[in-house]
């Protein structure tokens, strides 16, 4: 069983997944910092100096009106903290935008590598005898040694 476990851990997919989870967690912290420290302050300023993270709705008014969300939590007053939800939605949108831009760039790079730019001068040709890719300047195929 220990041998099987070692083989399982040594497989490339498990290691790749672990790296992905670790990088994803770190990326999540960066995005949270970006949203809370850079994106939300200007949005709040444009909307009249609103700090979204402190927005809430009091459910039980009989216990009094708290001055802030922290005050409501300290007094155990039930509230709906919808401001944090707005922050989380904006965080998700920023993550989705960054992932979209990243995937778009990777696809663009892959596309240029797979499909040469039209009008570009080819540097390789196919051997008519063995169908391998060889240099355009080759006089003899290095794979099948046929004279071209």
| Residue 119: predicted pLDDT | 66
> Which pair of tokens denotes residue 37?
């420290």
Positions of the chain with pLDDT lower than 70, given as ranges: 12, 116-120
| Residue 78: predicted pLDDT | 92
* CATH architecture for the domain at 2-115: Orthogonal Bundle (1.10)
Q: Give the tens place of pLDDT for each residue, 106-134.
A: 888 888 777 766 666 778 889 888 888 98
**Domain positions in the chain:** 2-115, 116-148
- Alpha-carbon span 56 to 58, nearest angstrom: 7
CA of 75: how far to CAs of 52, 53, 62, 83, 125, in Å?
21, 18, 12, 19, 78
| Residue 79: predicted pLDDT | 93
| Residue 102: predicted pLDDT | 81
| Residue 82: predicted pLDDT | 93
């Amino acid at each position: 069983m220990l041998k099987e476990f070692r083989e399982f851990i040594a497989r490339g997919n498990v290691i790749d997944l672990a790296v992905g989870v670790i990088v994803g967690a770190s990326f999540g912290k960066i995005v949270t910092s970006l949203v809370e420290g850079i994106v939300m302050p200007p949005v709040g300023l444009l909307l009249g100096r609103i700090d979204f993270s402190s927005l809430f709705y009091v459910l039980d008014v009989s216990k009094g009106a708290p001055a802030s969300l922290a005050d409501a939590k300290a007094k155990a007053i039930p509230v709906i903290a919808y401001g944090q939800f707005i922050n989380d939605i904006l965080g998700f949108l920023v993550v989705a935008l960054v992932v979209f831009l990243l995937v778009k760039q990777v696809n663009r790079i892959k596309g240029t590598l797979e499909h040469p730019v039209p009008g570009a001068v080819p540097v390789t040709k196919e051997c008519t005898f063995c169908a391998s890719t060889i240099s355009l300047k080759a006089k003899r195929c290095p794979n099948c040694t046929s004279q071209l």
